[in-house]
């Protein structure tokens, strides 16, 4: 009986998440209440609070679902391309594609994520699984490419690419252009620059700088 109960519990949890995200898109974040989510999902308010203590916890669930969507959206380019730049470009565009439907209330999400003490902060312990999942995608970008760079730099590059993507996300939050056109343009224009900088790390004059950068990263992380 345990497995059917667990499966039903997960179905209820996902129903609440999907309902919340739909209402966030349709009504906006502020206008959506836990009571409204419960009603639309066909569960009691108490049951909704059993799975999620607040709308903020639903945002964390949104992060997790967005990460899953991004993983799926990346598959085509990662399975097809071996060149570093197209792999990175495809992954970043897929990231924007999965976020665009939620752009109208992205600022509300960012307000919580920007608070240093918030569990929704991308650097918090609570956000660890989704953060590591995101970094894993960029590790796949690097490891599946024909990129030839110093082994120490290669080890740290996925996290640096994730930080780069976080900068893209921040720009996207404030992008008011139709269809977030400027964010896509930013990605298209900066990816070639990233590839050039990464490739330059192999040049004799840049190797020591790259090693120093790796050292800084590891010291800060420690």
Blockwise average pLDDT, block size 10, the chain, 222 residues: 72 90 81 92 93 84 85 94 96 94 78 79 84 93 93 91 94 94 97 93 81 82 70
- Give the residue from 165, 35, 183, 31 showing the smallest Cα distance to 103: 183
- Confirm if 150 and 202 have CB atoms less than 8 A apart: yes
Q: What CA–CA distance (Å, rounded) separates 3 from 6?
A: 5
Instruction: Please report the pLDDT score of residue 26 as a whole number.
Output: 83
Instruction: Please report the pLDDT score of residue 1 as a whole number.
Output: 47
Instruction: Please report the pLDDT score of residue 44 as a whole number.
Output: 93
Instruction: Please report the pLDDT score of residue 74 as a whole number.
Output: 94
- Confirm if 60 and 28 have CB atoms less than 8 A apart: no
Q: What CA–CA distance (Å, rounded) separates 31 from 55?
A: 11
Phi then psi for residue 127, to 5 deg, are -90, 5
- Confirm if 134 and 162 have CB atoms less than 8 A apart: yes
Q: What CA–CA distance (Å, rounded) separates 131 from 220?
A: 17
Which residue's structure tokens are 């989704």?
A: 130
Q: What CA–CA distance (Å, rounded) separates 216 from 213?
A: 5
Instruction: Please report the pLDDT score of residue 109 as a whole number.
Output: 73
- Tell whether pTM > 0.95: no
- Confirm if 181 and 189 have CB atoms less than 8 A apart: no
Q: For residue 65, what are the CA distances in angstroms to 1, 73, 74, 144, 179?
A: 27, 12, 14, 24, 22
- Cα dihedral sign, 36-41-47-52: negative
Q: What CA–CA distance (Å, rounded) separates 98 from 190?
A: 20
Q: Which residues contact 69 (CB under 8 A, 6 or more apart)?
A: 98
């Amino acid at each position: 009986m345990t497995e059917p109960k667990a499966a039903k519990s997960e179905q209820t949890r996902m129903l609440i998440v999907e309902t919340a995200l739909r209402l966030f898109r349709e009504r906006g974040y502020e206008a959506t209440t836990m009571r409204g989510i419960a009603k639309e999902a066909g569960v009691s308010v108490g049951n909704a609070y059993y799975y999620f203590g607040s709308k903020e916890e639903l945002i964390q669930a949104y992060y997790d679902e967005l990460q899953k969507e991004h993983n799926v959206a990346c598959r085509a380019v990662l399975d097809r391309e071996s060149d570093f730049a197209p792999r990175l470009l495809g992954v970043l565009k897929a990231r924007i594609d999965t976020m665009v439907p939620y752009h109208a209330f992205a600022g509300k999400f960012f307000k919580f994520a920007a608070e240093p003490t918030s569990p929704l902060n991308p650097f918090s312990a609570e956000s660890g699984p989704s953060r590591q999942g995101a970094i894993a995608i960029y590790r796949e970008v690097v490891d599946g490419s024909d990129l030839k760079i110093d082994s120490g730099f290669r080890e740290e590059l996925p996290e640096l690419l994730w930080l780069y993507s976080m900068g893209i996300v921040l720009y996207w939050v404030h992008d008011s252009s139709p269809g977030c056109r400027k964010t896509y343009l930013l990605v298209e224009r900066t990816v070639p620059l990233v590839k050039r900088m990464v490739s330059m790390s192999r040049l004799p004059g840049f190797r020591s700088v790259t090693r120093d950068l790796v050292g800084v990263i590891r010291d800060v992380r420690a």
